[in-house]
């Protein structure tokens, strides 16, 4: 990591007012000596984000993030410390220490290209407003783009002539050889340079740190290619960036969701319709680098590609890429299904924002989308039911996690109109020699009886819901902590914070008589105490309330039963995985394991 003299850091702090700077990103209101607003780093409805201009730091009392203005830029832009310092030093006019000559030359070239791009963006915007931009303005009007939208995305127009931008750059002192390296102009065979973009609606792409890094030009006269995009330059690599992420990342911070579309204008149309978390893939196949960028800002990603064969193929490839980078991190990838012949722009303009919102709500999980495609191909053939079952089982194992196989067997069986047991049994019937020692007919009913493994009804608890319920009940009726402390063990709590609170309560259960006693049990754990008081302060619509101890006991008994059910299901799943692993390894399945499996299945049926 590059090291900076502390004088440089102090100078940045002195020249940049943290309240004014953060106010560019967060709507802040004065409260005493603090500035308060909604935290940009987590979703919240009540402001808990405080900026202290007099002391030069910020702190969110909701998610705990805090620090100086450099920390804010690091967090907001996902930048390492040295880059955050350079960004702020540039804004504040602070000169940094000398760099390695090679690094200094590269940075100087990048900064010169940023400047050239900025001049070009301003020129294109000016041309759109001029009489020369009449056709481009008419095109924007046909697309339904309003003046605020045009300004928000700095849309512009490249005139038909060959030297308009070239002359603008030359008069601004830009080295035209460097402008050619930036993709703005091209060298002429007769010497000199000419404009690369002509008679096109111009769409600039911004880095998340605010610099113009590339352009896309949409033809206005039917010429090909329809879109002309910046190629690789020292500041831009195709496939590494996402269009409008500089704007959408702020919306994504509210609900951790991003919508990915194929084209610039689709993206702009969604923003104008109120979907400010939309980004575009910049005219390239979706890449792992783009997926990594999405992962920085969002936990939930919606892929919304055109409803044609090309869009379907793009969606399938994007799922494969996203699954590598996003899904395994806990993010969720869903596919938005547009009607035939529609793209996001035409759909939202023709049917409105509510209809598009409904599409998002009905979006399919990525694995379901891929299964649907594969099942459609199977249904189009003339396979026998047994062959269908074998192929479907192989596809399920290829596309889904082992622990979800049985869930997707039920889904796929419905799509193929075959018996779900045919899928379950297909792996056993494929090679009967894998099983041994074989039980006799008296023991298992038949020498060749198949093993039926039925799914059980989903009874899993909503994450943390029972934990809130238990703590809320104990707050209302503290003596119940002693009665249920062993039946509902603290180890069952998945929330570390709630578990700490419950452990403290159970440890002192004998002395708990009133709510104050419960709170006192957590007095030394400030976070646990805050969690308990939050539960106690919840509105009655969001917290369990019961009339008397018997009602509370009845509810706790139901929780005990549900936890036992989860244990039984976990045991069933464990045995199922063991059998699957032996089958895949070609090993015989011991009779006692099959008997344990049958016993676990019978227990779940009760």
What pLDDT is attached to residue 283? 67
Q: Is the CB of residue 9 less than 8 Å from the CB of residue 96? A: no
What pLDDT is attached to residue 545? 52
- Measure the CA angle with vertex 576, ends 573 and 579; round to 5°: 155
| In 67-172, alpha helices (H) | 69-77, 81-92, 101-129, 134-142, 147-152, 164-171
- What confidence category does residue 538 fall into, taking pLDDT thresholds of 50, 70 and 90? very low
Of 307-311, 423-427, 575-579, the one with minimum mean pLDDT is 307-311
Over the stretch 395-426, which tens digit does the pLDDT of each residue have? 988 888 887 888 888 888 888 888 877 887 77
Given a cut of 80, whether residue 294 has pLDDT beyond it is yes
Residue 144 tokens read as 């339904």
Would you say domain 459-606 falls under CATH 1.10.860?
A: yes
| In 184-244, alpha helices (H) | none
Please spell the DSSP secondary structure of 330-377, one letter per residue: T-EEEE--PPTT--HHHHHHHH-HHHHHHHHHTPEEHHHHHHHHHHHH
Higher-pLDDT residue of 292 and 335 is 335
- What is the percent of the chain with per-residue pLDDT over 70, rounded to a whole number? 85
Q: Is the CB of residue 58 less than 8 Å from the CB of residue 22? A: yes
For the chain, the average pLDDT equals: 82
- DSSP-based three-state secondary structure for 51: strand
**Pairing label, strands 66-67, 57-60:** antiparallel
- What confidence category does residue 585 fall into, taking pLDDT thresholds of 50, 70 and 90? confident
User: What's the rounded Cα separation, in Å, for the pair 8 and 473?
Assistant: 55
The rounded radius of gyration (Å) of the Cα atoms in the chain is: 31
What pLDDT is attached to residue 543? 43
Q: What is the mean pLDDT of residues 483-512?
A: 88
Given a cut of 70, whether residue 523 has pLDDT beyond it is no
Of 458-462, 531-535, 545-549, the one with minimum mean pLDDT is 458-462
- DSSP-based three-state secondary structure for 185: strand
Of 61-75, 108-122, 209-223, 582-596, the one with minimum mean pLDDT is 582-596
Over the stretch 202-252, which tens digit does the pLDDT of each residue have? 999 998 778 899 999 999 988 889 999 999 999 999 888 999 998 898 788
Given a cut of 50, whether residue 438 has pLDDT beyond it is no
Helices 69-77 & 81-92 angle (0-180, nearest 10): 120
Q: What is the mean pLDDT of residues 335-355?
A: 92
Long-range contacts of 583-591 (CB under 8 A, 24+ apart): 583/427, 583/428, 583/434, 586/431, 586/434, 587/434, 588/434, 588/435, 588/436, 588/437, 589/434, 589/435, 589/436, 590/437, 591/437, 591/438, 591/439, 591/443
What pLDDT is attached to residue 57? 84
Q: Is the CB of residue 214 less than 8 Å from the CB of residue 180? A: no
* Strand partners of residue 364: 335
User: What's the rounded Cα separation, in Å, for the pair 469 and 465?
Assistant: 6
From the list 517, 526, 485, the residue with the least C-alpha distance to 503 is 485
Instruction: Give me the phi and psi of 487, to 5 degrees please.
Output: -70, -30
Element holding 584 (H helix, E strand): helix 549-584
Q: What is the mean pLDDT of residues 572-588?
A: 79
Q: What is the mean pLDDT of residues 329-347?
A: 84
Selected from 3.40.50.150, 3.40.1360.10, 3.30.465.10, 3.40.50.740, the CATH number assigned to the domain covering 245-362 reads: 3.40.1360.10
- What confidence category does residue 323 fall into, taking pLDDT thresholds of 50, 70 and 90? confident
CATH level 3 topology of 101-229: DNA primase DNAg catalytic core, N-terminal domain (3.90.980)
Higher-pLDDT residue of 298 and 118 is 118
DSSP character for 30? Answer: E
Higher-pLDDT residue of 250 and 139 is 139
Would you say domain 6-92 falls under CATH 3.30.420.40?
A: no
Q: What is the mean pLDDT of residues 275-283?
A: 90
Q: Is the CB of residue 311 less than 8 Å from the CB of residue 261? A: no
**Pairing label, strands 364-365, 257-261:** unpaired
- What is the percent of the chain with per-residue pLDDT over 90, rounded to a whole number? 29
What pLDDT is attached to residue 111? 83
Q: What is the mean pLDDT of residues 508-516?
A: 77
User: What's the rounded Cα separation, in Å, for the pair 431 and 429?
Assistant: 5
Q: What is the mean pLDDT of residues 86-98?
A: 79
Q: What is the mean pLDDT of residues 564-588?
A: 81
Query: Between the ranges 22-26, 228-232, 313-317, 526-530, where is the mean pLDDT highest?
Result: 228-232
Q: Is the CB of residue 337 less than 8 Å from the CB of residue 364? A: yes
pTM of the model: 0.59
| In 522-548, alpha helices (H) | 526-537
Q: What is the mean pLDDT of residues 159-171?
A: 95
What pLDDT is attached to residue 242? 93
């Amino acid at each position: 990591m590059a090291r900076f003299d502390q004088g440089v850091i102090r100078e940045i702090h002195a020249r940049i007012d943290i309240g004014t700077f953060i106010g560019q990103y967060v709507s802040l209101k004065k409260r005493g000596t603090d500035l308060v607003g909604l935290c940009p780093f987590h979703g919240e409805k009540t402001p808990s984000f405080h900026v202290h201009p007099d002391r030069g730091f910020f702190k969110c009392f909701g998610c705990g993030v805090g620090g100086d203005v450099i920390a804010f830029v690091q967090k907001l832009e996902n930048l390492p410390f040295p880059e955050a310092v350079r960004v702020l030093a540039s804004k504040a006019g602070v000169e940094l220490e000398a760099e390695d000559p090679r690094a200094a030359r590269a940075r100087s070239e990048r900064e010169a290209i940023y400047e050239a791009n900025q001049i070009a963006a301003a020129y294109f915007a000016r041309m759109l407003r001029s009489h020369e931009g009449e056709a481009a303005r008419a095109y924007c009007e046909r697309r339904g783009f309003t003046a605020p939208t045009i300004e928000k995305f700095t849309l512009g127009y490249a005139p038909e002539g060959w030297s308009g931008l070239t002359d603008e750059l030359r008069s601004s002192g830009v080295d035209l050889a460097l402008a050619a390296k930036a993709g703005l102009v091209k060298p002429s065979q007769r010497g000199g340079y000419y404009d690369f973009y002509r008679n096109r609606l111009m769409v600039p792409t911004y880095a998340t740190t605010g610099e113009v890094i590339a352009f896309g030009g949409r033809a206005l006269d039917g010429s090909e290619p329809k879109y002309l995009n910046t190629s690789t330059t020292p500041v831009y690599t195709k496939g590494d960036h996402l269009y409008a992420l500089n704007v959408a990342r702020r919306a994504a911070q509210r609900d951790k969701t991003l919508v990915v579309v194929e084209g610039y204008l689709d993206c702009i149309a969604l923003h104008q319709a109120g979907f400010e978390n939309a980004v575009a893939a910049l005219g390239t196949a979706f890449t792992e680098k783009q997926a990594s960028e999405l992962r920085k800002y969002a936990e939930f990603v919606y892929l919304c590609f055109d409803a044609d064969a090309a869009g379907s193929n793009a969606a399938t490839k994007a799922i494969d890429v996203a699954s590598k980078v996003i899904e395994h991190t806990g993010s969720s990838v869903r596919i938005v299904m547009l009607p035939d012949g529609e793209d996001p722009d035409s759909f939202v303009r023709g049917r409105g924002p509510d209809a598009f919102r409904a599409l998002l709500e009905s979006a399919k999980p990525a694995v379901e989308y891929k299964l649907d495609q594969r099942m459609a191909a199977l249904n189009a053939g003339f396979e026998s039911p047994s062959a269908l079952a074998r192929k479907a089982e192989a596809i399920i194992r290829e596309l889904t996690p082992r622990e979800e196989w049985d869930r997707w067997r039920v889904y796929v069986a419905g799509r193929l109109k075959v018996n779900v047991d045919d899928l379950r049994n297909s792996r056993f019937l494929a090679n009967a020699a894998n099983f041994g020692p074989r039980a006799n007919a008296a023991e298992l009913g038949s020498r060749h009886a198949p093993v039926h493994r039925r799914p059980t009804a989903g009874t899993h608890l909503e994450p943390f819901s029972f934990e809130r319920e238990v703590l809320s009940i104990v707050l209302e009726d503290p003596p119940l902590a002693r009665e249920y402390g062993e039946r509902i063990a603290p180890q069952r709590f998945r929330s570390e914070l709630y578990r700490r609170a419950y452990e403290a309560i159970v440890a002192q259960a004998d002395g708990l008589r009133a709510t104050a006693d419960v709170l006192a049990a957590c007095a030394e754990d400030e976070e646990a105490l805050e969690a308990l008081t939050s539960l106690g302060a919840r509105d009655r619509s969001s917290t369990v309330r019961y009339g008397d101890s018997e009602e509370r006991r009845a509810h706790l008994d139901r929780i005990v039963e549900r936890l036992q059910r989860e244990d039984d299901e976990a045991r069933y799943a464990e045995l199922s995985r063991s059998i699957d692993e032996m089958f895949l390894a070609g090993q015989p399945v011991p009779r006692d394991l099959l008997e344990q499996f049958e016993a676990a299945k019978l227990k779940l049926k009760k």
